[in-house]
C-alpha cells in the first residue's frame, strides 16, 4: 500500500522486482537523487545522509515482501524529526505484529502493545532488560537480536516464550553512517495461532482426502446392492429376501432360468453376511469335467493319482473356510459327488481324495440352478436328502418376461455404462424401447445386455432407431418381436384369424425354448394343452417334451 503523504517528508515506495518507483510531491524535489539512493540500498545501507542536500534517508523493508522498500527522505531539521518520530511511534503502536527495539548491546529500549498481547511479557518487565539475561533465566530460549548483532545481518528464528507461546522473530540491524549497528528492530508474529491454523489445515486436508476417496469409491462402487436393477415388485421382493437371509448363516438355494442374475444375488448375500470378510469361492459344477470336479472341490493327498502334486492339494471347500462357497449349476453335479457334498453339509468336514483324516471346514454353502431339482429327484438324478439340505432358504428369481417393469431401467443402466466406457452419447427411440418391453427374452437379463451393447456399438446415430435394431438382429436371426399383426383378409372369420395368430405365436415360442414344458410356462398354459396345439397345427417339436 502506498504510504499516506506526510507534509515536508519525502516518501517513496520502491518495488525492486518490478523496478517501479512511486513518490509524493516532497520526494519529487529529490528525484535527481533517487538513483543514488537506490544504489546505497542495493549495497545494504538503510540509514544514510546526503550532506550537500541536507537530507537523511531511512529505509524500511516490508516483512511480507523483501523486495518492497519504503524510503523516507527527511530534511535535516530537529523539529521535523520530532514530529516524524511521534507519527512513527503511533504507526508502530498500531501494528498488529509485535515490534521490539533493542540497542547495539541487546538492551530492550522499546516494545509496542502487540508484543505483550502476543507473548504475554509486559512492557514494565521487558524495558531495560538485557536479551542475554532473558535467555539465561529462561524467559526466551534464543534471541534473534543477539544473533543479528553477532552475524551483522537480518535474522529470522522461531522463538519459545516461557508463557507457552511460540513466535516467529525477524531481527533487522539499523546502522549509522559509518556502518555500525546502532539499533535492532524485531518484528514478532504469533506462531501459536499459525500452528493451530496448520493443524486445522492438516485436518481439513485429511478430511478432504477421505471425502475424495469416498467419492472415488462411489464412482467405482461394486456393491451388488447398487448394481442390481429392481423396479418390479417381484425383484424388490427378491432383494428384500436376500438381504434378510444374508444375516442368517444357513444354506441358500437360488433358482431361476439362465441369465436372470443369480450370481449377483450371491454377491449381495455374501457382502451383507457375517462372513463378508472371509473368502467367496465360486464354482460352476457344469463347467468342470467330472473327473476333475471331485479333486477341485475336496482336494487330494500326495500320490492319490497319476499327475497329482507331490505335496497334495487343498480343495476349494478348505480354501473357502470361514467364508462362502457358491455351487452354481448344482444340478450338474454327479451323484457320487452329491454324497460327499452331503457329508460336508452334515458333518462340517471334508476328506481329501486318498486321505483318511477328516478336515474341519466352516463354510456357508449357496447353491444355484436353472433346473427343476424336484423333477430330477423323481428321475433319480438328484438326491432328495441333499436337496432339502441345500434348500433351507430358497430364493426364486423370476424370468425377465415376468418383470417387465425392470426392462427399461435395465436398458438405461446398460446404456449409461456403455456411454461412460466408450465415451458415447447414445439413447434408444421410443419405438425401440417398446419392442424391447414386448419381447419375451428367453435369455433373460444376459440376452438383454448383449443385444443392448450390440445395437449401441453398431448404430451410427446417437439415437438407436427401429431400423438399427432390425439390421443387427436380422444378422443373428433373432425374432425380436414381430410387427403388430394386421388383418390381411377381412373375408376370414374371427376364429380363423385367432387360430392363425395362435399358430404363428406357438411356432415362434417353440423355437426359443429347449423343452415343451418351458415353452408352456412362457405361454402360461398347461404342457398337455401345448402338446395338443402342436399336434393340431402340425408343428414339430413334440419330441422335445420331457
Q: Which pLDDT band, with edges at 50, 70 and 90, does 470 fall under?
A: confident
Checking if the pLDDT of 87 tops 60, the result is: yes
Checking if the pLDDT of 69 tops 90, the result is: no
Q: What is the mean pLDDT of residues 412-416?
A: 88
Q: Give me the pLDDT at residue 482, please.
A: 45
Q: What is the mean pLDDT of residues 476-502?
A: 57
Q: CB within 8 A of 79, min separation 6: which ones?
A: none
Checking if the pLDDT of 304 tops 90, the result is: no
Q: Give me the pLDDT at residue 11, please.
A: 84
Q: Give me the pLDDT at residue 542, please.
A: 41
DSSP states of 59-115:
EEE-SS-TTEEEEEEEES-HHHHHHHHHHHHHHHHT-SSEEEEEETTSBEEEE-HHH
* Residue of 142, 140, 96, 143 whose CA lies nearest to 118: 96
Whole-prediction pTM: 0.49
Cα-Cα end-to-end distance for the chain: 96
Q: Give me the pLDDT at residue 252, please.
A: 93
Quote the CA–CA distance of 135 and 212 in Å, as a whole number.
Answer: 48
Q: Which pLDDT band, with edges at 50, 70 and 90, does 546 fall under?
A: very low
Q: Give me the pLDDT at residue 512, please.
A: 75
Q: Which pLDDT band, with edges at 50, 70 and 90, does 367 fall under?
A: very high
> 198-231: per-residue pLDDT in tens?
777 878 778 777 766 655 554 444 555 556 778 8
- Helices (DSSP H) in 276-333: which residue ranges? 290-298, 316-319
Confirm if 161 and 120 have CB atoms less than 8 A apart: yes
Q: Per 3-state DSSP, what percentage of the chain is helix, strand, and coil (rounded to 5)?
A: 45, 20, 35
Query: Which residue reads 530537529 in cell numbers?
Result: 78
Pairing of strands 364-369, 324-328: parallel
Classify domain 403-475 at the CATH topology level: Helicase, Ruva Protein; domain 3 (1.10.8)
> 263-278: per-residue pLDDT in tens?
999 999 998 899 999 9
Q: Which pLDDT band, with edges at 50, 70 and 90, does 191 fall under?
A: confident
Checking if the pLDDT of 255 tops 90, the result is: yes
Give CATH superfamily name and number for 97-209: PAS domain (3.30.450.20)
Dihedral angle sign, alpha carbons of residues 511, 515, 518, 519: positive
Segment among 22-36, 100-114, 176-190, 474-488 with least mean pLDDT: 474-488
Domain ranges of the chain: 1-94, 97-209, 224-398, 403-475, 494-544
What CATH class is the domain 224-398? alpha beta
Quote the CA–CA distance of 464 and 452 in Å, as a whole number.
Answer: 10
Q: Which pLDDT band, with edges at 50, 70 and 90, does 4 fall under?
A: very low
Checking if the pLDDT of 5 tops 70, the result is: no
Q: Give me the pLDDT at residue 213, please.
A: 65
Higher-confidence position of 509 and 454? 454
Segment among 127-136, 168-177, 249-258 with least mean pLDDT: 168-177
Confirm if 421 and 457 have CB atoms less than 8 A apart: no
Q: CB within 8 A of 227, min separation 6: which ones?
A: 221, 264
Average model confidence (pLDDT) for the chain? 81
Checking if the pLDDT of 433 tops 70, the result is: yes
Q: Give me the pLDDT at residue 397, please.
A: 93
As to burial, measured by CB atoms within 10 angstroms (0-12 exposed, 13-18 middle, 19+ buried), residue 506 is buried
Segment among 89-93, 358-362, 421-425, 481-485 with least mean pLDDT: 481-485
Ramachandran angles phi, psi of 77, nearest 5°: -150, 120
* Side-chain-facing half-sphere of 23: CA atoms under 13 Å: 20
Q: What is the mean pLDDT of residues 496-509?
A: 78
Work out the angle between the directed axes of helices 527-536 and 516-523 (0-180°, nearest 10): 100
Task: Indicate the helix (H) or strand (E) that contains 475.
Answer: helix 466-475
Checking if the pLDDT of 161 tops 60, the result is: yes
Q: Could you tell me the CA-to-CA distances from 256 to 282, 370, 372, 508 in Å, in that order?
A: 18, 5, 9, 22
Q: Give me the pLDDT at residue 472, please.
A: 81
Q: Kindly provide the b/e burial profile for residues 389-419, where b requires at least 16 CB atoms within 10 angstroms of the residue's own CB.
A: bbbebebebbbbbbbbebbbebbebbbeebe
Confirm if 440 and 512 have CB atoms less than 8 A apart: yes
* Side-chain-facing half-sphere of 9: CA atoms under 13 Å: 21
Query: Which residue reads 424401447 in cell numbers?
Result: 433
> 95-141: per-residue pLDDT in tens?
888 899 999 999 998 899 989 888 889 988 998 889 999 999 999 99
Q: CB within 8 A of 317, min separation 6: which ones?
A: 297, 298, 299, 325, 344, 350, 361, 363
Ramachandran angles phi, psi of 523, nearest 5°: -85, -5
Checking if the pLDDT of 412 tops 70, the result is: yes
Q: Give me the pLDDT at residue 387, please.
A: 92
Confirm if 277 and 271 have CB atoms less than 8 A apart: no
Amino acid at each position: 500500500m502506498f504510504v499516506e503523504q506526510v507534509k515536508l517528508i519525502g516518501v517513496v515506495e520502491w518495488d525492486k522486482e518490478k523496478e517501479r518507483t512511486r513518490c509524493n510531491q516532497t520526494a519529487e524535489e529529490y528525484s535527481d537523487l533517487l538513483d543514488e539512493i537506490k544504489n546505497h540500498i542495493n549495497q545494504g545501507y538503510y540509514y544514510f545522509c546526503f550532506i550537500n542536500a541536507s537530507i537523511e534517508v531511512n529505509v524500511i523493508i516490508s516483512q511480507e515482501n523483501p523486495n518492497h522498500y519504503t524510503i523516507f527522505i527527511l530534511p535535516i531539521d530537529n523539529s521535523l524529526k520530532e514530529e516524524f518520530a511521534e507519527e512513527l511511534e503511533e504507526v508502530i503502536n498500531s501494528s498488529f505484529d509485535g515490534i521490539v527495539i533493542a540497542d547495539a548491546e541487546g538492551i530492550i529500549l522499546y516494545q509496542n502493545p502487540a508484543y505483550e498481547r502476543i507473548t504475554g511479557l509486559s512492557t514494565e518487565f521487558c524495558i531495560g532488560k538485557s536479551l542475554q539475561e532473558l535467555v539465561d533465566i529462561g524467559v526466551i530460549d534464543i534471541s534473534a537480536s543477539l544473533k543479528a548483532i553477532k552475524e551483522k545481518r537480518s535474522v529470522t528464528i522461531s522463538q519459545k516464550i516461557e508463557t507457552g507461546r511460540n513466535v516467529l522473530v525477524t531481527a533487522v540491524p539499523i546502522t549509522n553512517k559509518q556502518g555500525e549497528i546502532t539499533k535492532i528492530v524485531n518484528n514478532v508474529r504469533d506462531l501459536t495461532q499459525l500452528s493451530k491454523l496448520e493443524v486445522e489445515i492438516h485436518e481439513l486436508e485429511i478430511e478432504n482426502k477421505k471425502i475424495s476417496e469416498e467419492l472415488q469409491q462411489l464412482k467405482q462402487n461394486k456393491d451388488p446392492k447398487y448394481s442390481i436393477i429392481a423396479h418390479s415388485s417381484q425383484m424388490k421382493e427378491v432383494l428384500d429376501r436376500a438381504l434378510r437371509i444374508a444375516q442368517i448363516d444357513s444354506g441358500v438355494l437360488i433358482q431361476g432360468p439362465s441369465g436372470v442374475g443369480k450370481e449377483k444375488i450371491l454377491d449381495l448375500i455374501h457382502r451383507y453376511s457375517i462372513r463378508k470378510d472371509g473368502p467367496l469361492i465360486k464354482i460352476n459344477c457344469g463347467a468342470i469335467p467330472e473327473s476333475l470336479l471331485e479333486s477341485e472341490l475336496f482336494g487330494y493327498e500326495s500320490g492319490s493319482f497319476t499327475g497329482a502334486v507331490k505335496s497334495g492339494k487343498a480343495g476349494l471347500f478348505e480354501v473357502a473356510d470361514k467364508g462362502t462357497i457358491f455351487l452354481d449349476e448344482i444340478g450338474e453335479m454327479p451323484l457320487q459327488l452329491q454324497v460327499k457334498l452331503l457329508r460336508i453339509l452334515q458333518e462340517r468336514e471334508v476328506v481329501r481324495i486318498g486321505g483318511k483324516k477328516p478336515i474341519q471346514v466352516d463354510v456357508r454353502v449357496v447353491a444355484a440352478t436353472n433346473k427343476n431339482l424336484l423333477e430330477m429327484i423323481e428321475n433319480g438324478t438328484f438326491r432328495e436328502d441333499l436337496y432339502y439340505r441345500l434348500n433351507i432358504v430358497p430364493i426364486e428369481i423370476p424370468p425377465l418376461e415376468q418383470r417387465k417393469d425392470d426392462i427399461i431401467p435395465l436398458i438405461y443402466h446398460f446404456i449409461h455404462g456403455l456411454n461412460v466406457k466408450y465415451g458415447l452419447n447414445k439413447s434408444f427411440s421410443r419405438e425401440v424401447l417398446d419392442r424391447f418391453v414386448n419381447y419375451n427374452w428367453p435369455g433373460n437379463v444376459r440376452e438383454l445386455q448383449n443385444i443392448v451393447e450390440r445395437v449401441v456399438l453398431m448404430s451410427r446415430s446417437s439415437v438407436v432407431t427401429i431400423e438399427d435394431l432390425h439390421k443387427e438382429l436380422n444378422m443373428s436371426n433373432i425374432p425380436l418381436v414381430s410387427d403388430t399383426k394386421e388383418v390381411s383378409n377381412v373375408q376370414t372369420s374371427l376364429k380363423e384369424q385367432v387360430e392363425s395368430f395362435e399358430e404363428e405365436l406357438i411356432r415362434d415360442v417353440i423355437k426359443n425354448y429347449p423343452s415343451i414344458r418351458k415353452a408352456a410356462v412362457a405361454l402360461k398354459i398347461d404342457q398337455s394343452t401345448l402338446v395338443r396345439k402342436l399336434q393340431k397345427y402340425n408343428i414339430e417339436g413334440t419330441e422335445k417334451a420331457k
